[in-house]
Amino acid sequence: MKLPTARAQALGMHLVLILVTGLLASRLLVANPVPSTPAPVSPASAAVAEPATPWGGDYFPNTLLTDQDGRQVHFFDDLIKGKVVVINFIFTSCSDSCPLETARLRQVQKLLGDRVGKDIFFYSISIDPLSDTPAVLKAYAQRFQVGPGWQFLTGEFADVTELRQKLGLFIEGVDNGRTKDHNLSLIVGNQQTGRWMKASPFENPWILADQLANTLHNWKQPSVGESYANAPEIRPPSNGEELFRTRCASCHSLGPMDGQGIGMRSIGPDLVGVTRQRDPAWLNRWIREPDRMLAEKDPIATALFERFDKIPMPNLRLDERSVQSIIEFLQAETDRQQPLLTPLTVGAEEPQHQQAIAVPDKARVQ
């Protein structure tokens, strides 16, 4: 099968780009993986001294959980023992950062391809077990079209809370029950080596994929030979672009060249042309408070919601300035990809941003 190579190459290329540009909008929260435990073992020594991790079966509970298909599994023995894993905590009725996180992980899953379920495992555990029954979780997973190797799990509320505490993903006082501050509910790790890292859902998917595919496997997989001479030119991103990449690109593409290598249908509509198609005030408000517009049954919002599998666009609590700079970026990107060759005449056809026809521009593939 050719795919892994192409994917790996693309991965390498993007990584170089990203590292070199220092565009990293989001930060890896490598520090403080698990509270009140010793520092992680370094990869080199971990490779030799295998059972050195202090975080084994006597640290992690063997909690009984149920997955989206109703199968019962034990947290330590079945889910993490000896494995490289991604774990996050969600609730399906969450309307802010969980959908972004799920969408981001879905991109990472695409990038990792068939390694997911083989040597990398994804787990989303509900913190709202009363509402999130296996059937509800299954429907959620299907709406986001997650692939195999990613389980959605539910269990007793107290047990799930304990898991969050053990993973260092529970902030007393902030995190009791439904929380707004969900940014740090994602952790990646290798149980065997004891290397655990918190990650941000705003993280670039290529970086997350690289951590899972390479870093956490102690770089055992052969790396890809890629000539950097082919690397696209580097531009400093505008504030709007950076916000778009970290907050929006988990669900939206920008033209047909965007998200290459991830190769999938976006969760939300492609946004090239949207600044020409929508009324500016509508667009501005929609980006700030889509949840309220949906609740008010705004006709455009409702139609889009129906068309996009009833996945609600999240309210990302952006301030006015951030929204403005994102819109400016969308406008600039639209003008770049779909230059207006002839002056618009009154009554000109409405641009079809869903089928953006872009001039391929290899310098901008990121």
How do 84-90 and 195-199 pair as beta strands?
Answer: unpaired
Shortest Å distance, C-beta 247 to ligand HEC? 4
Residue 285 found at the interface with ligand HEC (CB under 6 A): no
Shortest Å distance, C-beta 164 to ligand HEC? 22
Residue 308 found at the interface with ligand HEC (CB under 6 A): yes
Pick the piece of the chain touching ligand HEC (CB under 6 A) from 134-142, 149-157, 173-181, 313-321.
Answer: 313-321
Residue 4 and residue 353 in contact, taking contact as beta carbons nearer than 8 Å? no
Residue 245 found at the interface with ligand HEC (CB under 6 A): no
Please identify, using beta-carbon distances, which residue of 63 and 107 lies nearer to ligand HEC. Answer: 107
Shortest Å distance, C-beta 130 to ligand HEC? 23
Please identify, using beta-carbon distances, which residue of 169 and 251 lies nearer to ligand HEC. Answer: 251
Residue 271 found at the interface with ligand HEC (CB under 6 A): yes
Q: Please name the residues in contact with 303: beta carbons below 8 A apart, sequence gap of 6 or more.
A: none
Please identify, using beta-carbon distances, which residue of 189 and 201 lies nearer to ligand HEC. Answer: 201
Q: How many CB atoms lie within 10 A of CB 143?
A: 16
Pick the piece of the chain touching ligand HEC (CB under 6 A) from 163-171, 182-190, 255-263, 270-278.
Answer: 270-278
Residue 316 found at the interface with ligand HEC (CB under 6 A): yes
How do 84-90 and 72-74 pair as beta strands?
Answer: unpaired
Distance between CA atoms of residues 229 and 272, nearest Å: 29
Residue 268 and residue 54 in contact, taking contact as beta carbons nearer than 8 Å? no
Residue 100 found at the interface with ligand HEC (CB under 6 A): yes
How wide is the angle at C-alpha 274 spanned by C-alphas 271 and 276, nearest 5°?
A: 150
Distance between CA atoms of residues 246 and 250, nearest Å: 8
Residue 186 found at the interface with ligand HEC (CB under 6 A): no
Q: Please name the residues in contact with 324: beta carbons below 8 A apart, sequence gap of 6 or more.
A: 284
Distance between CA atoms of residues 122 and 136, nearest Å: 18
Shortest Å distance, C-beta 203 to ligand HEC? 13
Give the residue, chosen from 12, 99, 113, 205, that forms a contact with ligand HEC under the rule CB under 6 A.
99
Please identify, using beta-carbon distances, which residue of 290 and 351 lies nearer to ligand HEC. Answer: 290
Q: Phi then psi for 135, rounded to 5 degrees?
A: -65, -40
Pick the piece of the chain touching ligand HEC (CB under 6 A) from 2-10, 122-130, 210-218, 248-256.
Answer: 248-256
Q: Please name the residues in contact with 7: beta carbons below 8 A apart, sequence gap of 6 or more.
A: 111, 113, 261
Taking each helix axis as running N to C, give the angle between helix 205-213 and helix 3-21, from 0 to 180 degrees, rounded to the nearest 10.
120
Residue 103 found at the interface with ligand HEC (CB under 6 A): yes
Please identify, using beta-carbon distances, which residue of 197 and 287 lies nearer to ligand HEC. Answer: 287
Residue 18 found at the interface with ligand HEC (CB under 6 A): no
Greatest C-alpha distance within the chain: 73
How many chain residues bind ligand HEC (CB under 6 A)? Answer: 28
Distance between CA atoms of residues 206 and 349, nearest Å: 38
Shortest Å distance, C-beta 52 to ligand HEC? 39
Q: Please name the residues in contact with 214: beta carbons below 8 A apart, sequence gap of 6 or more.
A: 221, 223
Site of interaction with ligand HEC (CB under 6 A) = 99-100, 103, 247-248, 250-252, 267-269, 271, 274, 278, 283, 286-287, 290, 304-305, 308, 311-314, 316, 318, 326
